[in-house]
């Protein structure tokens, strides 16, 4: 009972901190983590210990699915090079840099263990990335790159971690023996996510009761993650592909009241999970300190500080290098700079936004031509739909009820032909949802 009361108090306190963060116009994960640290130092409070496997399933799975559902597959394809440079190269460089730094201070630590530690701290936190992204308004290119990275970087780091742990257990490591299993895991996860999404979407579309459909969505989300883990696949890749595939379904497949209700519920759920996640991060300070002898605390705090400096420095260094090389290649090829071309300012923003805390609002000062393009797509979609409705448009509810299905089909065709993007599609879809609901009163 004490644990339950403590959890309720933490949720209430976290809600207050979140309100304070919004009033101060700063990312709420920062205050939540600091609040968790403060609570952890209060003597006499019960420990809240959650098994690592449960943490991944409980926090990462639904938040990644929510983000994957809102992501634009077309934009991800457009900016796949800078995103993959972060997912693969940046994670690999930070893993190696952390391993070397730790071995410098702790030479007795095996290389495999040092690499495993590097893999754990190398990827920016996906939960932090997605939480903060909803509070700031970075340019479209930067947001897409960071969202894509947050969806996939855990997969690359967890694969490195599993290989390193296996090397610790077996006492040996052969790169050639690890490449094929890793490729099988990746492609197997992609196939599994696609198949499961097709099956689940067709099943959920038949449910017309909003609470039941929402519960089924939650259950299937956790089930997809657990099934992937049971099959030895990557839960991250499987759930991301699952979400991306499910998001491409036509809006006509779902009942509008089910979609509106489930979206609102998912938004609330992801916020609660973010609150709990960042509060629990701060609470981990007490058991860590209790597990160390007093003489060891200074040494380990020094190592932790060195690791922090390494991950903070390596990421901006790589992003700047990648941007400068890309611009040099454009000059060699005599290519004209495009709106989506990398700049030093955008590289600094992406490099600093390691999602361990994107605290600068300077991102708002970067010009974003894509925002104007999105606005034009949105207005074009609405105009196109109005033109298709023609003289049938009327305040009469019965006529509007007949028009909305045709508007949805036209909207789906606009996205399929590439005239509008996924974000414009969802904005117009939301307006159509409210129009349809308004005809029922």
Helix 111-121 crosses helix 91-105 at what angle (to 10 degrees)?
130
The pLDDT of residue 358: 31
Yes or no: say if 252 and 205 are a contact pair by the CB < 8 Å rule.
no
Distance CA 94, CA 240 (A): 23
Two tokens at 391? 């003289």
pLDDT value at position 201?
85
pLDDT for the residue 335: 72
Would you state the pLDDT for residue 366?
41
Q: What is the pLDDT of residue 194?
A: 93
Supply the pLDDT for residue 238: 92
Provide the 3-class DSSP secondary structure of residue 48: coil
**pLDDT score for 354:** 62
Q: For the residues of 354-369, what is the DSSP string, one character each?
A: -SS-----GGGGS--H
Give the whole-angstrom CA distance, residue 201 versus residue 325: 43
pLDDT tens per residue across span 353-400: 665 433 336 334 344 444 455 555 555 655 655 555 444 444 555 555
- Name the strand (E) or helix (H) holding 379: helix 369-389
Q: Is 280 helix (H, G, I), strand (E, B) or coil?
A: helix
| 37-61 burial: b if 16+ Cβ within 10 Å, else e | bebbeeeeeeebeeeeeeebbbbbb
Instruction: Report which of 420, 358, 401, 385 is spatially closest to residue 126, judged by C-alpha positions.
Output: 358
Listed in order, the ranges of the chain carrying CATH 1.20.1530.20 are 2-365
Residues of the chain short of pLDDT 70, as ranges, are 1-3, 27, 45-48, 125-138, 170-178, 250-254, 282, 289, 291-297, 337-342, 353-403, 420-421, 423, 438-441
The model carries a pTM of: 0.74
Residues 6+ apart with CB under 8 A from 64: 126, 130, 151, 154, 236, 239, 240, 243
- Report the candidate in 197, 207, 190, 193 with the shortest Cα–Cα distance to residue 246: 197
Per-residue tokens: 112: 């495999």
The Cα 148–Cα 82 span in angstroms is: 10
State the CATH architecture for 2-365: Up-down Bundle (1.20)
């Amino acid at each position: 009972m004490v644990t339950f009361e403590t959890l309720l108090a933490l949720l209430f306190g976290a809600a207050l901190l979140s309100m304070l963060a919004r009033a101060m116009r700063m990312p709420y994960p920062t205050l939540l983590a600091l609040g968790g640290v403060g609570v952890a130092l209060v003597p006499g409070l019960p420990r809240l210990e959650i098994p690592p496997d449960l943490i991944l399933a409980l926090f990462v799975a639904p938040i990644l699915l929510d983000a994957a559902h809102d992501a634009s597959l077309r934009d991800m394809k457009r900016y796949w090079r800078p995103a993959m440079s972060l997912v693969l190269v940046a994670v690999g460089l930070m893993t190696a840099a952390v391993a070397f730094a730790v071995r410098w201070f702790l030479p007795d630590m095996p290389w495999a263990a040092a690499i495993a530690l590097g893999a754990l701290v190398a990827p920016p936190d996906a939960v932090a990335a997605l939480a903060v992204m909803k509070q700031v308004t970075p340019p479209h290119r930067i947001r897409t790159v960071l969202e894509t990275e947050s969806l996939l970087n855990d997969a690359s780091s967890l694969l490195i971690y599993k290989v390193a742990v296996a090397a610790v257990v077996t006492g040996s490591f052969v790169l050639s023996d690890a490449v094929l299993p890793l490729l099988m895991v990746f492609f197997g996860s992609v196939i599994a996510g696609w198949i499961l999404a097709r099956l689940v979407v067709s099943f959920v579309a038949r449910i017309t009761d909003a609470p039941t459909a929402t519960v089924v969505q939650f259950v299937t989300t956790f089930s997809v993650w657990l099934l992937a883990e049971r099959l030895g696949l990557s839960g991250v890749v499987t759930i991301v592909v699952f979400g991306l595939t499910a998001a491409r379904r036509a809006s006509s497949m779902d009942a509008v009241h089910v979609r509106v209700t489930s979206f609102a519920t998912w938004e609330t759920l992801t916020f609660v999970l973010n609150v709990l996640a960042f509060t629990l991060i701060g609470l981990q300070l007490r058991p860590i300190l209790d597990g160390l002898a007093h003489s060891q605390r200074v040494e380990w705090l020094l190592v932790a500080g060195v690791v922090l400096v390494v991950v903070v420095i390596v990421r901006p260094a790589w992003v700047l290098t990648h941007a400068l090389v890309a611009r040099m290649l454009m000059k060699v090829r005599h290519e004209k700079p495009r709106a989506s071309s990398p700049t030093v300012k955008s590289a600094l923003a992406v490099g600093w936004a390691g999602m361990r805390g994107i605290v600068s609002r300077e991102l708002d000062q970067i010009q974003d031509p894509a925002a104007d393009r999105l606005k034009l797509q949105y207005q074009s979609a609405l105009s196109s739909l109005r033109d298709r409705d023609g003289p049938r448009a009327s305040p009469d509810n019965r006529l509007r009820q007949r028009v909305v299905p045709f508007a949805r089909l036209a909207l789906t065709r606009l996205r399929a032909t590439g005239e509008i993007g996924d974000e414009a599609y969802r904005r117009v879809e939301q307006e159509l949802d409210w129009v349809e609901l308004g005809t029922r009163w």
